[in-house]
Amino acid sequence: MDTRDPQAAGLAALAGLIADRTRAACLLALLDGRAWTAGELARHAQVAASTLSEHLGKLVAGGLLTEERQGRHRYVRLADARTAQLIEDLAAQVPAAQARPAPRGLRESGAGAAMARGRTCYDHLAGRLGIAVTDALTLRGLLRQDTGFALTDAGMEWFGAAGIALDLSGRRPLARACLDWTERRPHLAGAAGAALCGHALDAGWCVRIGSQRAVKVTAAGERALSGLLGISSAALR
């Protein structure tokens, strides 16, 4: 009789899905929270479309991606926020020298600097921007970090006063710590992090730049974040 832990096979299979450079590149790209076509991901991963299609099939079958079709186009996205958390947490465990190798040329150097300055991590803000917002919320008593991330009563009021609607209906935690893979410190995730990021993009506080997850704070965003959280413009650039 086989007495081995039945979860071991499932864990090994999950790890095997991620333990491929092409599939890992796709999962990291999809942390921007958007749906990508197979062609876009193939170009990003620098592989043939036929090769990429095989990899996507495995990720969909394994439950890490969901897909939808519109006409001739096949779109894929991360299955859910839990999947995004898994990928980001794993990426944060990669040694810094491997996570941020020396850039090859000015273009790659600029893209890496932009990602470190500010980016989306699935549906919340990350990089120095995400850390600056998290620190400001904590400093003002709007977010607690001493016993895990939690919004205070003042924090709940702050979101309302800022016009940022919080989704309290789902099973997702309101506030959650997400380890930032460039800063090696936790930033705000969860429903509150998603609401803040969504509002920042919708209100024009931040705009996406380049073809990856990088975001840039606009002049309007600098004014808003300075007024609402006291974050200096220098910390946002």
> Domain check: are 179 and 119 in the same one?
yes
Question: Distance between CA 121 and CA 91 in Å, rounded?
Answer: 11
Question: Distance between CA 93 and CA 211 in Å, rounded?
Answer: 24
129-158 confidence digits (pLDDT tens):
999 999 999 999 999 999 889 999 999 999
What's the domain range around 58?
A: 7-79
What are the DSSP E strand ranges found in 56-200?
Answer: 65-70, 73-78, 119-121, 124-126, 143-144, 150-151, 176-179, 186-189
Residue 16 is assigned to a structural domain of this protein: yes
Mean pLDDT of 27-36: 88
Task: Give the global pTM.
Answer: 0.75
> Domain check: are 116 and 202 in the same one?
yes
48-89 confidence digits (pLDDT tens):
989 999 999 999 999 999 998 887 778 999 998 889 889 988
Predicted pLDDT at 10: 87
In the three-class reduction of DSSP (H, G, I as helix; E, B as strand; rest coil), residue 119 is classed as: strand
> Domain check: are 197 and 129 in the same one?
yes
Question: Distance between CA 21 and CA 34 in Å, rounded?
Answer: 20
Domains: count for the chain = 2
Give the HSE-up count for residue 166: Cα atoms under 13 Å, Cβ half-sphere.
20
Q: How confident is the model at residue 168 (pLDDT cuts 50, 70, 90)?
A: confident
- The two most distant CA atoms of the chain are separated, in Å, by 67
Mean pLDDT of 106-113: 58
Q: How confident is the model at residue 110 (pLDDT cuts 50, 70, 90)?
A: low
Whether residue 7 is predicted with pLDDT greater than 50 in this model: the reply is yes
Residue 47 is assigned to a structural domain of this protein: yes
